[in-house]
Amino acid sequence: MRVLVSDPLAEEGIRRLETAAEVDVITNLSPEELVERIKGYDALVIRSGTKVTADVINAADRLKVIARAGVGVDNVDVDAATKKGIIVVNAPGGNTISAAEHTIAMMLSLARNIPQAHASVRRGEWNRKKYTGVEVFNKTLGIIGLGRIGTEVAKRMKAFGMRILAYDPFITESKAAELGIKLASLEEIYRESDFITVHTPLTPETRNMIDEPQIKMMKPTVRIINCARGGIINEAALAKAVAENRIAGAAVDVYTKEPPVGNPLLEQERIITTPHLGASTAEAQINVALAVADQIIAISRGQLPTTAINLISIPPETIALMEPYMDIAERMGRLLGQLGTSRFEQLEIVYGGSIAEKDTRLITIAAVKGLLSAIGAHANLVNSMALLKEKGIKLMESKTEVANGYSNLITMRLKTTSETFAVHGTVYRPDDRRIVQINDYRVHVPTEGNLVLVLHEDRPNIIGPVCVVLGEANINIGSMHVGRISAGKPQLMVLNVDTPLDDETMKRILSVSGVLSARRISM
């Protein structure tokens, strides 16, 4: 495995990566150089300094993972990565405390004019009146985005005696109550706050969420902090409001373009700035570097990552429980995909019995991956759903308590333009998974290796000649099951064979008298 690290990463993370991979650290690459360099790498590790555009992603020839040693992935074209089946992981949590502490440092610096006062003392001035500040005690702090960082800021600023209002559409009243925080509307925050701090990701909804009209609602004494992402607060509007004394000041760590050359925020004495330092502490950098190294190593071992952006996140213990079901679902999908010969219209999955009570999303993705891989699509757990949509195949899922006497039962039906195929499977034990029905035929087939499905008349002297053909081709039969719906109706013979059948052997089976059709399936 080869890993390219294109932004500064803590040595600890590099050393951990080196236990499992060949690692190149090449920073300050231009976009063109990255497009050139990305070929041959399996993993790319970045921070906020590297833009991973669709051009970079499309130029990659074996990239499996983009790992963001930090939180924000707004510098990654996640859609392009997903389409190409590249996992994007980040390291949430590792830099939370550092970013929260930096936010607070900025808030206090802003309240007490520390950067400006420091610079003035250095210049030989002694102007105590000019740098008179304000207390944060008894003031209202408006927090927009009450996630990991917003929450830590809230907890700490409560200890400073601030009244805290928070807005986050994805946070419940009960979580806010637990923290002793009042949930408020954006308008309440704008009108009532003495300090406003933003802690959301940059998304189409949050871009410019604080602009001229929002600033107009604010008190003239308000101080605004952005240690989240440049662009959540409109930079020109913020600079203008400070310049026109319509607000008291701002503290900014992040910019729409970094470094912020020519940015109007840099022209205002009452706007204090840092160069995207929120996560720049020794502790945070070790945390995030080790976290992404672990994710990359797990992925290289075929395990599922726990912090993927473009894969549903499921706790590791649940993933372990899901694995046998994902495995059988993928194989059932592959079986169906090989049975269908005309255009696929719809895949239906029914979860029955105990599995119906579980989070089945990963199982569904595995089933889709199996189905699509049978028709030559480069499907994986990341891109399967997008590929299914792209191919116009409808997905239907349902859950039922009914499991036909099994403790769990997965039923999949593939509808094509000309036929419908069904396959049913169960997990007896994690290491014993069986296909128990194909169309209307009850069978009991292991889910490994090569299958031959032979539909034949219900009469003597067919099974023997088919086995003779296999014997003459030196193909060993591992197991064999014959099922029929009722006497006189065609039977289905399912053979597990140790080696795949060649065309000649298939032809010979099809020429056995009484054989109606034969299909070879690779599970």
Ligand X SMILES: O=C(O)C(=O)COP(=O)(O)O
Ligand Y SMILES: NC(=O)C1=CN([C@@H]2O[C@H](COP(=O)(O)OP(=O)(O)OC[C@H]3O[C@@H](n4cnc5c(N)ncnc54)[C@H](O)[C@@H]3O)[C@@H](O)[C@H]2O)C=CC1
Q: How far is the CB of 139 from ligand Y (least distance, A)?
A: 21
Residue 281's contacts (CB-CB under 8 Å, 6 or more residues apart) are: 95, 98, 101
In the complex with ligand X, the residue whose CB is nearer, 256 or 491, is: 256
Q: Which residue is nearest to ligand Y (CB)?
A: 147
Give which of ligand X, ligand Y, none residue 208 binds (C-beta under 5 to 8 Å, depending on kind).
none
Q: How far is CA 25 from CA 3, 9, 232, 464, in A?
A: 8, 9, 31, 63
Residue 363 contact, options ligand X, ligand Y, none, Cβ 5-8 Å cut-off depending on partner type: none
Q: Contact, 329 vs 366, CB < 8 A? A: yes
Chain position whose Cβ is nearest to ligand X: 70
Which of the residues 258, 323, 397, 457 is marked catalytic?
A: 258
Q: How is residue 267 annotated by DSSP?
A: G
Buried b (16+ CB within 10 A) or exposed e, 134-152: bebeebbbbbbbbbbbbbb
Minimum CB separation from ligand Y for residue 114, in Å?
Answer: 18
Smallest distance from ligand X to CB 48, Å: 3
Please say which residue, 171 or 339, places its beta carbon nearer to ligand Y: 171
Q: Which is nearer to ligand Y, 125 or 173 (CB)?
A: 173
Secondary structure class of 374 (helix, strand, coil): coil
List the catalytic residue out of 229, 331, 456, 520: 229
* 319 SS3 class: helix
146 binds, among ligand X, ligand Y, none (CB under 5 to 8 A by kind): ligand Y
Cβ 233 to ligand X shortest distance, Å: 15
- C-alpha to C-alpha distance for 314 and 302, rounded to whole angstroms: 16
Please check whether residue 66 is in contact with residue 52, taking contact to mean a CB–CB distance below 8 angstroms. Answer: yes
Catalytic residue among 148, 276, 424, 520: 276
CB of 388: closest distance to ligand Y in angstroms?
A: 28
Report helix, strand and coil shares of the chain as percent, to nearest 5. Answer: 35, 25, 40
Contact of residue 92 among ligand X, ligand Y, none (CB under 5-8 Å per partner type) = ligand Y
Nearer to ligand X, 282 or 487 (CB): 282
* HEC-encoded secondary structure of 9-46: CCHHHHHHHHCCCEEEECCCCCHHHHHHHCCCCCEEEE
Q: Which does 47 bind (CB under 5 to 8 A by kind): ligand Y, ligand X, none?
A: ligand X
The span from the CA of 414 to the CA of 454, in Å, is 19
How large is the greatest C-alpha to C-alpha distance in the chain, in angstroms?
108
Residue with Cβ nearer ligand X (275 or 430): 275
The one-letter amino acid code at 63 reads L
For ligand Y, the closer CB: 254 or 368: 254
DSSP-assigned states of every residue in 200-243: ----TTTTTSBSHHHHHTS-TT-EEEE-S-TTSB-HHHHHHHHH
Least separation, in Å, of the C-beta of 237 and ligand X? 22
Tokens 């704008």 identify what position? Answer: 190
Give yes or no: 128 in active site: no
Per the CB < 8 A criterion, the answer to whether 199 and 153 are in contact is yes
Residue 496 · residue 449 · CB < 8 Å? yes
- Taking alpha carbons only, the member of 420, 340, 348, 332 closest to residue 375 is 340
Give me the residue label for tokens 């499905």. 453
Q: Which is nearer to ligand Y, 5 or 91 (CB)?
A: 91
Shorter beta-carbon distance to ligand X: residue 227 or 326 = 227
Those residues whose C-beta lies under 8 Å from the C-beta of residue 79, and which sit 6 or more positions away, are: none
Label residue 329 exposed, middle or buried (CB < 10 Å: 0-12, 13-18, 19+).
buried
Question: Could you tell me the smallest distance in angstroms from the CB atom of residue 339 to ligand X?
Answer: 47
**Residue 227 binds what, of ligand X, ligand Y, none (CB under 5 to 8 Å, by partner type)?**
ligand Y
Q: How far is the CB of 51 from ligand X (least distance, A)?
A: 12
Residue number with CB closer to ligand Y (172 or 341): 172
Helix (H, G, I), strand (E, B) or coil at 419: coil
> Given the rule CB under 6 A, which residues bind ligand X?
47-49, 69-72, 95, 276, 278-280
- Specify the residue, 76 or 241, whose C-beta has the smaller distance to ligand X: 76
Interface positions with ligand Y (CB under 6 A): 70-72, 92, 95-96, 99, 144-150, 167-171, 199-201, 203, 205-206, 227-229, 253-254, 276, 278-279
The nearest distance, CB 145 to ligand X, in angstroms, is 12
Q: Closest approach of Cβ 284 to ligand X, in Å?
A: 8
As to burial, measured by CB atoms within 10 angstroms (0-12 exposed, 13-18 middle, 19+ buried), residue 186 is middle
Q: CA nearest 225: which of 137, 104, 133?
A: 104
Pick the closest to residue 388 from 421, 349, 430, 423 (CA basis): 349
Catalytic, 276? Answer: yes
Catalytic residue positions, numbered:
229, 258, 276
